[in-house]
Structure 1
């Protein structure tokens, strides 16, 4: 039967099972699949070819990037992201990007190939049982061994990805892919057949229970020093967050994935939290007596109020995550937007604005200090100046994608959320390399918006081939590389542990990624003079096509925490005493930073 199916496929005589898969994706509203072909998915590629008017295939240069793109698509649009890889090594390459989706709770469907069913278990070439390998990363995980399972299991996989905010995986052997679409070789029971109408996902109720809303209001109305902590789960609830903050007279702290929840110039905004946060944000967590957590499950508990310090109210979409970080007096289960809207009428307006005013003044001082570091007078180029040039030149609806590392610190403090600006990075996984593929996917999703990848040289070099992907697909992404010729974050982490740096600086000559950009047909410029940075960024943003600016920055600029603890300072000093090789340059940079702040 399967031999006949292959012959029929070649002659274009019959519908194949892979077409049912693609048709069902299209029915769910999927319009893009990111991936890399291989002999393990030739049948699925044929299904995509036959239905390219419904679902476009975006050819990438590395499967890891395909998974990052699917995750970025889900983060930016709220819709299912889909990636495709061949059997064996192709499927293995997807994993890092899929874990990014898992840890940041994004709905993603991974589709992979598998060897023919007749050779499974024989040690055939590239026989990797991906359904076993993916067991930890997935919420739904199935090897399809009968065409009759389609399209029912596609629906189940997609509904599960949406409902559990995670990864679903379908792996499909070669012979099943090309079998006749209506084949049912076993016919034990009737297969699940979803209705022919367009499928829908029925989201759970978004409003918390009435008794929980009243209990939460009682706690919040009694606060004298309230605080609101928001995360990525509140990105769609800006108006509601601001309204609740106004009623409570509460400063709002944002996690890094939730940076775009409210504008940075809002009178309620006190910046971020944690090592990449602000001093006012850290002070607020230490001082508040009541905390409302909305759309966040912030993992670093040492940056949250001490147990017993504050009464805690949390609104969380997943019951399993409510109250896991802090003793929580009122955990509410529901959508942040709907939950806050229902809570708002129950809140009493707090007329005492002294608490809020104190933090507004603290933020004014903090912003002044940060602006002082955005100076064009430093050589080597100050990384704070580079991101400030991007911030000033970018549009009010620009999307900034970011890698993990020191660049996340500079973006957190110097990329200003205003208007409809977006900001995306790998949150809980904090992996290197997603900044560039994120930008590719988001430019696909939002072709009319400015999309800028702000990345480090370490992360960019891992998946730099995706700049060629952007050029080949005509995507006008902009890339700015913070090139310190090192793994900068690891360098400082070693020092904070009290160890002199080791194995974190790349050798000479330093990289010049602008040459790669030009070889791809894009705009490319190398900058090492601060006088040229603003012009280069402006030219890149104005370029009609993909553009890259590679800026050599000061490798000895430390991403200092908002508040330096005694233990951190002690370990930093120990690293100096043990023979930190660049201690003179680092000390000079720290001294210049201090002088710049005092000058303000």
Structure 2
């Protein structure tokens, strides 16, 4: 059997360490699917029900592993469906490669069926965006695409005409030009750099931080691998650690040095610390909500991407480098603060804040409060659970009532803030982390958008646990309309969905809960069930996600 050109693509992905591709077949990628079939012993193809879910899964895979996520879609509408999930990857800076089909080269430019020039459509979302023209170039295009995604932590895209997919892998259709270049011959290699600022910059940053009397640290997702270094720095500077929501897992929520999140989904002690701070150290964060950042504080920012430095506030000393290595180099220059009153005030504030949150989690309130649901899950989930949440009011409940402890992870669509990501993220996290508890905490609105993917979890035997906050409303939009003084419109579903029968119809476990007294038992039952389960919880639709 002769090797076809699509095998060059598949083999190169395998050489890069790719083991999973999420996608949906179509006549625009039949050749690629044949290449996947021929290498099925080394590359797993995960069949989804919608291409948007494939892109979300690739993004969730990348977020939960730090590795490249890969999705595959057919030409025209299939590729178009990928875009929302790919923008999620782009805006949250995770490495994803999208592969799409294209009409035969003989038909391009004729207005052929499904002729959408995806290499043009993807120009904005993809940092590297190429179309295959001859089989010979395929390994090099894959190399450049993967290196671009890994180095820039972003999206790359390769689109592949169907006739070339099925062509002889050794076909050289034409030659021309002056003969001044050889055929490309590259290697599937990438070594992430160790980036540390210059000594003079480190000393300048230390001087600013040592001179500050009320220093606060804002830690983002870029600091996830620097937990110990963040804690050591905060201890020296007597600085409260405020966390962006994507960076929630940087430090355990019960650590005495953290005041939790910031902003509408954050805590009052974090907001007060920012208001009083005279110095801020930002680490791996491009936090967008500037209203909650200090207006006049001196600033030091650790950031791997130079173009993001100073985007949110004035930065006196930028430190271009990776979080862990930069903090390791910075700590020897820092002086331990003797006056620790600023930190102690923040810690006292957190004691009161936790008491307020506990009151909202009361099992005695009926109907079931979403805060109570989240806390029950938090109490019963394992210390290495991966929680994926959707966007809406449920993000507030997850941010405030699910605690990071042990090796827990917290995944969400941070900057795109799209709905429907929660279930696909959970599936991808479970595929990538088969030994860990993977939980989805989603709203009824977001879950309904891609609910067919629960069947994907059943088909692959993935023991995901999906908890649906079912209030029959698009809660975040409802409260935004009220805050603006507008009468509500278009936010209530007249007949709330009953999702438990759907779970059972797919072959999973479905549980519906209406009473607070039944909740703890239902959560335990779902977590102990060996397969995929949905717990559909009817909650109070009128509970406001009040800001701190």
Q: What band does the TM-score fall into relative to the shorter chain?
A: over 0.9
Q: Counterparts of 2:544 and 2:36 in 1: how far apart (Å)?
A: 48
The residue aligned with 1:47 is 35
Pairing 1:539–2:528 present? no
Aligned partners of 1:500, 1:530: CA distance in 2, in Å? 31
Which residue of structure 2 lines up, in the alignment, with residue 226 of structure 1? 215
Matches within 5 A, 1:50-65: 50-65=38-53
Partner of 1:332: 319
User: Secondary structure of 1:548's match?
Assistant: strand
Q: Does 1:239 align with 2:228?
A: yes
Q: By how many angstroms is 1:183 displaced?
A: 1.3
Q: Shift in Å at residue 190 of structure 1?
A: 2.7
Q: Does 1:450 align with 2:442?
A: no
Superposed displacement of residue 148, structure 1: 1.4
The Cα of 1:550 is off from its aligned counterpart by 0.3
1:560 aligns with 2:546: yes
Residues 1:514 and 2:506 aligned together? no
* Residue 370 of structure 1: how far off its partner (Å): 0.1
Measured after TM superposition, the shift of residue 200 of structure 1 is 2.1
Q: Secondary structure at the match of 1:150?
A: helix
CA distance in 2, matches of 1:464, 1:278: 32
Deviations 1:309-343 (A, max 9, x none): 20000000101101111010011111001111111
- Which residue does 2:423 correspond to in 1? 436
Among 115, 136, 148, the residue aligned to 1:127: 115
Q: TM-score, normalised by structure 2?
A: 0.98
Give the unaligned 5+ runs of structure 2. Answer: none
Describe the superposition over 1:369-412 as per-residue Cα deviations: whole angstroms up to 9, x where unpaired.
Answer: 00111011122111101001100000000010000000000000
2: CA distance between counterparts of 1:445 and 1:41? 25
Equivalent in 96, 106, 112 of residue 108 of structure 1? 96
Q: What is the DSSP-based 3-state SS (H/G/I as helix, E as strand, rest coil) of the residue aligned with 1:151?
A: helix
Q: Which residue of 1 aligns with 2:245?
A: 256
Q: Contact between 2:194 and 2:325, CA under 8 Å: does it hold in 1?
A: no
Q: 1:471 & 1:292 partners in 2: Cα distance? A: 45
Task: Classify the secondary structure of the residue corresponding to 1:24.
Answer: helix
Q: 2:356 aligns with which of 346, 362, 369?
A: 369
How far is the alpha carbon of 1:187 from its aligned partner?
2.8
User: 4+ residue stretches of structure 1 with deviation over 4 A?
Assistant: none
- Aligned pair partner of 1:217 in 202, 206, 212: 206
Using the alignment, how far apart are the partners of 2:473 and 2:198 within structure 1? 51
1:594 counterpart residue number: none
Per-residue displacement from partner, 1:413-439 (whole Å, max 9, x unpaired)?
000011011100000000000000000
The equivalent of 1:390 in structure 2 is 377
1:465, distance to aligned residue in structure 2 (A): 0.6
Quick one: which of 143, 149, 154 aligns to 2:142? 154
Number of equivalent positions: 544
Residue number in structure 1 paired with 2:458: 471
Shift of 1:118: 0.1
Q: C-alpha displacement at 1:221, in angstroms?
A: 0.6
Deviation of 1:497 after TM superposition, in Å, equals 0.9
RMSD: 0.8
- How many Å separate the matches in 1 of 2:185 and 2:171? 14
- 1:398-413 equivalence runs, <5 A: 398-413=385-400
Alignment of 1:305 with 2:294, yes or no, is yes
Whether the 8 Å CA contact 2:196–2:326 is kept in 1: the answer is yes
Give the equivalent residue in structure 2 for 1:348.
335
